A and B are shown apart, each in its own frame.
Chain A
Amino acid sequence: MTRFHTTVRRLGRGTLLVLALGAALALVAGCESKPDKPTKFVFANTSSFDTLDPHQSFDVGRVAPRINLYDGLYRWVDNPPELIPWLAESYTVSPDGLKWTFKLKQGSKFHDGAEITAEDVVYSTERIFGVGKGAAALFSRMLEPGRTKALDKYTVEFTLSKPSAIFLSIIPEIHVVNSALVKQHVKDGDWGAEWLSFNDAGSGSYVLDQFDPAVGWSAKRFDDHFYGWGENSLPEIEFRVVQEINTRVLGMLNGDYHGTDGYLPYDQVKRLQEAENVQVLDEESMRIFMFQLNNQRAPVSDVNVRRAISYAFNYDAFINDILSGSVERNPVPIPNNLWGVPKDVKGYSFDLEKAKAELAKAKVKPDRELTIGVLTGFNQTEQAATLLQDGLRQIGVKSRIESHPWPVMVGKMKEPSTSPDIVIYWISTYYADPNNWIGEMFNSAGWGTFKSSSFYKNPKVDALLDKALQSTDMAVRAKAYEEAARIVVDEAAGVWVYNTKWFGPYANNVQGVRFCPIGNGQEMRWVSFK
C-alpha cells in the first residue's frame, strides 16, 4: 500500500472531503478581487427601481433615473434649492398668469442624436396625463390635456386653467422624452409605458446601459449632453438596489459602494463617520416629521384637545435623546429653511401643565382611547408614538398605537371616519415651495389626498393659501404663507416636530456632490473621483 493510501485511510474520507471543499472555496474566492481604481461610481439605493419611466414615478426613492437619464425645462440644484434654466433658456408669463411660454435652447440632443424640439415637450406633457401616474395629479390641478402647444420648433406654450404660482416649481417634473422613439413602442394605447419601463428615451447626462429591476441600473456618460462636461466627470454610474440597511453600511465600509442614501439611522451614520474610508456630508433637508391630527373627529376636532396633544409631546427628549440631536426642531408646517416661515412663531413645547389647562378648557373631553397610527417598518414613527402615548397618559388621556403598512394607512387616511386620530409620518420635498407642505396639507380643497388627511377647514386659511397659490408676487406669497402658518399653528391643526438633516455617506475619494433636497444629491453629473 502506498504512503498516499495510508494517509487517506488515516485521515478518513470525510476529512479529505472537507479539505477538498475548502480548497475549492479558496480557489473560487481567490478569483474575485477588487479593482485598485474605481471605473464606475456605485450607489447603493434603498428603493427598488420597478420602472425607469419618468412619468410613472414621482417618489423620492426612485429619483435617480429621472434626474440622470432625463432633462426638464428647468432644474433644481443646490441647497437652499435654486431653479436654473436647463433645456429651456428663458420663460415668460402672461399678465393674467395663465400663459407660460418657454424658449428651448437650440441643438440639445436626445441620446439617439435626435434634436429636442417643442413637440417633444408637448408630447411629454400630454403623456403625463395619458399615463395618469407620477406627477399627473399635481399638474392636473392647473393644466388640462390639450392645452400645451408648440408655437414653433423651439417655443412651447402652456395655457393653465387657473393661475398657479407653483407651476414653475413643478416644471422640472416634465421630464422630456423622445416622442418619436416612444411612439414607435406604443402598445394598446399605453403611451409606450411598458417599453419605457425598461428603456431610455431621454437626453440626460447619462445613457442607460443595463437595467435589471431586481438588481438596479447602470449608465454611461452622454458626451454630447448640451450642458457639457467638466474634467474627471464620472464615465459610468450604477445604482444598485440594496434594501437592507446593514448591507448598505457594510458595503460602504468594505468599499463596495461609493455612496448611499442620506437618511440612515443616526447610529449607522456615526459608524460611517468613524470609518477611515468614508466621508459623511451633512445638509439641512426639507423633509418634515409631523403628526397629522384628524380635525374632523371628536375629540381631536376640539382645538383645545389638539393644543393639549401638542403640549404633551416631549420634543427635546425625542430630538436630543432618541435621535441624538441629528435633526433640527421645526415647530411650523413649512421647513424652517424655506421662505414663507413666520420667524416669530415659537411653536409648542413639552409642558404638561399647559396641556392639562388646555384639556380643562375643551368642550369635547377625550373619553375614549385616541388612536395613534404608525408606519410598519419605520421605527421612528413607533418611537415617537410611544413617547406621545406616555405624555398623553400623564395628562389623563388614553391612547392606542396602531401599526399599518403604508398602503393600508393611505387607504385609511382618505376619510375622516377611517383615519386614525393621529398619524405619524414625514412629508418629503417634491418641489421647493411652501405649497408642497402647508398648501397641500391644510387647504380644504385637498381633502381626500393623503397629504391633506388632517381634514382641517378654515375659510381664512383657505383664502390665504389660494391667494399665495395664485399670486406671482413673492412678497405677497410669503406674507400669505406666514399668516396662514400662524393660524394653523395657533389652532394646532397638526404637530410639527423636526426638519430632517441629510447625512450623505460617500467614499473618501468622491468629490463634487451637490446636495439638493429635490434629488437628494443623486445627480451624478457634478460628481467625480479625486
Chain B
Amino acid sequence: MQAIILTAGEGARLGSWTANRPKGMIPLGNRPILDYLVSGVVKSGIREINMVVGYGKNSVMSYFGDGSSFGCEINYFFQEELTGTLDAMVIGMEGIKDDFILIPGDNYVSTESFGNMVNVSGPALLSGKANRWSKWGEIELEKGTPKITFDNPEAYGRMHFTGILKINKEMGEQLFKAGGHHIGEALQKLVSKVRFEVVESEYWHNIVYPWDLISGNRLALRDNLLYRHGKIEKNVIIKGDVSIGRGTVIRSGSYLTGPISIGESCDIGPNTVIDSSVSIGDNVMISSFSEISDSIIMQDCNIGSYSSLKGTVIGNGSSVGSHSIAIPITRDILYFDETFSVSDRGAMVGDNCKIGSRAILQGGSILMNNATIGEGEFYNADFQGENI
C-alpha cells in the first residue's frame, strides 16, 4: 500500500499565512498539518509516500527531506501549473503499484483514520462531521451504498467526504477519466459503479479560512507530542500536556495550563499566564504579566508585557507592544467579498506585523503581512496590509 499526498495548491483564501508556503505547512500545535498526515500514514504501516508539490515546494521538501526521519520514503513530484486535484493525483500516481490512499494535504483528520482505511479490504472513503459546507460533497448512505451530493448548503453536523480515499491504480485512472473540478466531483460519478466502504474519521477539520487556524490548532493539540527540554525556573506551575523545546526558558511565577506546545529558544515570563490550546513557535519572547489563551504565536515573535491575546493568530516575526489586547467577540466579517460570521476569534495577524503599545485589536479583525498598527490605536477592519 502506498499513499499520495497532494500539497501543490496555494490556499489563497488563507491570505497572509500562505505567502511563502502551501496550506499544509502552516504550523498547528507547532507542527505543519502535513506532519500529522505523514505521521498518521506511517502509523498505519504505509512506508512509501508520493508527495505532489508545487506552490512553496521548498518549504515542504526542506521539512520532510527524503522521509527517513519520519520512518518512510518520500518521493516528490512537481505540479508546475496548478490545474486542480485530479491532475495532481495523476502526477502523483507515477510509481504507484496497486492500492493507495489519496490525501489532499489541507485536511486535519485523526491519525487513526489511515489505519482504519488500510484495514478495509476494498476501496474506501473517509468521512467526517463537517462544521460547514465542504467542497468535497456530502455523503448520503442509501442502503449502505454511499452517494455524494453537493446541493445541501445547510451542512452543519452532517457527514461529508473528507477528500481522502483508498483506491487502486485502475480506479485512479477511472477517476481521472470521470473528470470534474476536483476529486469530489469525479467521485460522484464513479461512486455508483464501485462499492466503497465509508470509514469515519473521529474528527476532521478542513483548513480554508484564517479563522480555521484557531479551531485547527485546538484539534492539533490533541496530538501534542510531549517533550520537556529547556529550563523551568522555580515557582512555575505547569498543568496538563505542555511541551517545551530545547533552549527555552520559562521564568518564575508563570502559570501554564495544557495543552500547550512551546518551541525552541523561547523566553517566557516571569509571571506570564498561558492558558490551554496555545502553540508557540521557535524564538518567541513573551514578557511578564501577559496572558495568552487559545492562540497560535508563530516563530520569532515578540509579545510585550501586560498583553492579553485570546483566540488570536500572530504570524512569523511579528511584534506586539506592551498593554495590547486582542479579545474575541462574535461578529460578521467581510472576507473575499463574502460575509462570514465568526465567533470566539481574536485578531488574525500576518507575518512581520508591528503592533504598537496599548493597541486594541477587535475580535475577528484580520491584518495582512507587514502591517503596522500605531501606538494606542483601535483596529477593527477586516483587512489591512500590502496584499489586499
Pair from one complex: no
